[in-house]
Amino acid sequence: MSSPVAIVTGAGRGIGREFARLLSGAGWRLTITAARSREELEATASALPGEALPLVADAGDPVDAERTVAETLARFGRLDALVNNAGRGPREWSETFNRTPERFWEIPPDAWREIVRSNVDGPFLMARFAAPAMIAAGRGRIVNVSTSRITMVRKGYSPYGPTKAALDAMTRVFAQDLEGTGVTVNALLPGGATDTPFIPGERGRTGADGKLLPVSVMNEALLWLLSGASDGVTAARLVGARWDPADPAACREDTGEPPLIL
């Protein structure tokens, strides 16, 4: 049986690069993408122990998203998982957002549109083109990298926070749409700020809680989500910082009941 295949978006740096390293080491064949830097993407690919297809592609562009899935299927002949990691944050317009929050009316409209396009359109487009191949195979995994709920509504984090709230809603809707197909959709989040370029500065960088989590904080939860051990788990939020190998359910965060129609 051939090795499983995953697409990891935003793999040029940070969490995406860590996920690529993790999955490649676990025997996965990969397509890895980045929208901006071919050099960073190729550096990631060259450091992987397994087979990888690096593609400069913007997940928020429908042509690029469709091409990414098509080239993955042409190269590997299958697609088992999609990890929607690519996204953009407040550094699109501010290098001091974590110290001096800017109000929503101070955000350049172009920056707003670009973050929404990357963080909302991107996961939709990638899932939209990946789902048919997974449905045809009768099994697949879609993992959307999210953020803490407090970040979704934190002062100065618009539109980044609201786009992640939208991604959580998309996760639950997509999971329901895929019910009975063998394809699951879940959200995965660190549980705090991670030590990545998302946080500006060279020294003294911290998250809102004064800490920075290691970039590997979601690794074990991701491997579990992509394995057969998570069969039947869908529409869930998993928090990497809460991972307990003896009790994987301990890292699940209650998503609550769907809202009533009033």
Reply yes or no on whether 160 is catalytic.
yes
76, 124, 157, 160: which one is catalytic? 160
CA separation, residue 1 to residues 4, 78, 241 (Å): 9, 12, 33
Query: What does residue 245 show for φ and ψ, rounded to 5 degrees?
Result: -60, -25
Residue pointed to by tokens 């879940």:
186
Q: Which residues are the active-site residues?
A: 160
